Amino acid sequence: MLNMGGPEKLEDVHDFLLRLFMDTDLMKLPVQNKLGPFIAKRRTPKIQEQYSKIGGGSPIKHWTSMQGEGMVKLLDDISPDTAPHKFYIGFRYVNPLTEDAIEEMERDGVERAVAFTQYPQYSCSTTGRRPVGSLWKRIPVRDNASSPSTGSSLNAIYRYYSNRGDRPKMRWSVIDRWPTHPLLVECFAEHIRNELLKFPDQKRDDVVILFSAHSLPMAVVNRGDPYPQEVGATVQRVMERLGHCNPYRLVWQSRVGPMAWLGPQTDEVIKGLSERGKKNILLVPIAFTSDHIETLHELDIEYAQVLAEECGVENIRRAESLNGNPLFMKALADLVQTHLKSNEPCSRQLTLRCPLCTNPTCGQTKAFFASQKLP
């Protein structure tokens, strides 16, 4: 179960940031081996302050473990031919790291492995180059979807074997995207329905639903990254499931730095709606499968508390994240069962590089998974 991860404790924040700023898939910095540690050290106190406001750490490992346990229990029941099933967590920037998970799998004698990205919508990479002067002040440092870096997580698996100069002892395949899975769509719809019921009866029909996802620099979008269209596909299916019950927009959060980013931005839309008399708003984290700093701090505190008060918003709520919803665990199990039955190493989409891709490792990773021989 692949994800970026997040620091469980305040003392983990520095190492989390250090690994993040040293990841060349996520961002390319000049003299990265020197500038990365410098930025991590300077940013640690500020990010520790944010985590202290949401309980002292990220809950993403807790939720991923719960989701994994529920998933494999269901899999053992619905897919006895492939049982027993075991999940491993592979984070990019905190323990358990992806590389450590692979080593544990090898020690356990695993013969068949599925790299299951926990990002429903696929993105090859995230940030590009930034002006050095603003780097340490405005680098994105959120966890979980701090940028939707499916590509970075998969690259870590490819590099593990490439650096060893060895072929995998297990047969790999990958679930690389699942933006319109029916049970995922139903989970989002269920949480939206539940939250709409908490608005005053006379205001409910006037509530504007804002589906918020992590933004991308336009330089990445213009290379052909599929993430924006896949997020849009999720939103469309969810609103169809809801019968288009309320007006809605897809908005983008977490823009940083002076470069052009995919918009409109979540905070600016909240301001604009309020100015136009739309003061009942429901925020929906549509690209996140569990709570983390972007939901608990950015959406819940920065937007739903501070910004909403400044703008005079009457009622603003945030739909609950998928977290421990049993239906979501059923979705995960169904995805794995269907994938195993398909006997395909990856989706056809994964084999296609972005038309203007600038990262050679991306192509090597895609070839690695596409060439896996399954029985």
In this predicted structure, the answer to whether residue 185 has a pLDDT above a threshold of 80 is: yes
As a whole number, mean pLDDT of residues 269-281 equals 98
pLDDT at 318: 98
Q: Which stretch of 40-54, 219-233, 252-266, 296-310 has the lowest confidence by average pLDDT?
A: 252-266
Q: How confident is the model at residue 158 (pLDDT cuts 50, 70, 90)?
A: very high
Choose the weakest-confidence range: 24-33, 82-91, 167-176: 24-33
Burial environment of residue 15 by CB neighbours within 10 A (0 to 12, 13 to 18, 19 or more): middle
Instruction: Output the six-digit token pair for 196.
Output: 């709409």
> What pLDDT is attached to residue 125?
58
Question: Could you write out the DSSP letters of every residue in 21-51?
Answer: HT-TTT---TTHHHHHHHHHHHHHHHHHHHH
**Residue 166: per-residue pLDDT:** 84
Domain that holds residue 67: 2-178+325-370
140 and 277, same domain (yes or no): no
If asked whether residues 334 and 244 sit together in one domain, one would say no
Catalytic center residues: 181, 334
Give the pLDDT mean for 317-346. 97
Q: What is the mean pLDDT of residues 288-312?
A: 96
Q: Do residues 307 and 362 share a domain?
A: no
DSSP-derived letter for residue 303 is I
How high is the pLDDT of residue 358? 82
Contact status, residue 269 vs residue 210, Cβ threshold 8 Å: yes
Identify whether 375 is part of a domain: no
Please report, for the chain, how many H helices and E strands are present, in that order.
14, 8
- Do 323 and 290 form a contact (C-beta atoms < 8 A)? yes
Start-end of H helices in 266-359: 266-275, 293, 308-311, 326-342
**Structural domain ending residue among the three candidates 282, 302, 318:** 318
- Retrieve residue 271's tokens: 């301001």
Average pLDDT over the chain, rounded to an integer: 91
CA dist., res. 59 & res. 46, Å (int): 19
| pLDDT > 90 fraction of the chain, expressed in percent and rounded | 80
Domain check: are 167 and 40 in the same one?
Answer: yes
* 238 and 334 inside one domain: no
Spell out the long-range contacts of 47-50 with Cβ–Cβ below 8 A and sequence spacing 24 or more.
Answer: 47/13, 47/17, 47/141, 48/10, 48/13, 50/293, 50/297
Distance CA 256, CA 46 (A): 15
Q: What is the number of domains present in the chain?
A: 2
Q: Which pLDDT score, from 0 to 100, does residue 360 have?
A: 87
In a domain, 190, yes or no: yes
What is the model's pLDDT at position 124?
83
Q: What is the CATH number of the domain that holds 36?
A: 3.40.50.1400
Same-domain pairing of 129 and 202: no
- Look at residue 273 and tell me whether its pLDDT is greater than 80: yes
Q: Measure the CA–CA gap between 308 and 326, rounded to whole angstroms.
A: 32
Amino acid making up residue 264: P
Give per-residue pLDDT as tens, 335-354.
999 999 999 999 999 999 99
Q: pLDDT tier at 153 (50, 70, 90 boundaries)? A: confident
Supply 88's token pair: 């491993």
Q: What is the mean pLDDT of residues 295-317?
A: 97
C-alpha distance from residue 170 to each of 68, 73, 82, 103, 105 (Å): 20, 22, 15, 11, 9
- Give strand pairing partners of 223: none
94-108 pLDDT tens trace: 999 999 999 999 999
pLDDT tens figures, 108-118: 999 999 999 99
| Shared domain check, 44 and 170 | yes
- Please indicate, yes or no, whether residues 57 and 192 belong to a single structural domain of this protein: no
In terms of DSSP bridges, do strands 208-214 and 248-253 run parallel, antiparallel, or are they unpaired?
A: parallel
Residues 59 and 15 in one domain: yes
Q: What percent of the chain has pLDDT over 70?
A: 93
Q: What was the pLDDT predicted at 373?
A: 82
Query: Which pLDDT value is given to residue 9?
Result: 97
- pLDDT of amino acid 126: 42
Do 167 and 210 lie in a common domain?
Answer: no
Classified as helix, coil or strand, 174 is: strand
Res 23: pLDDT: 81
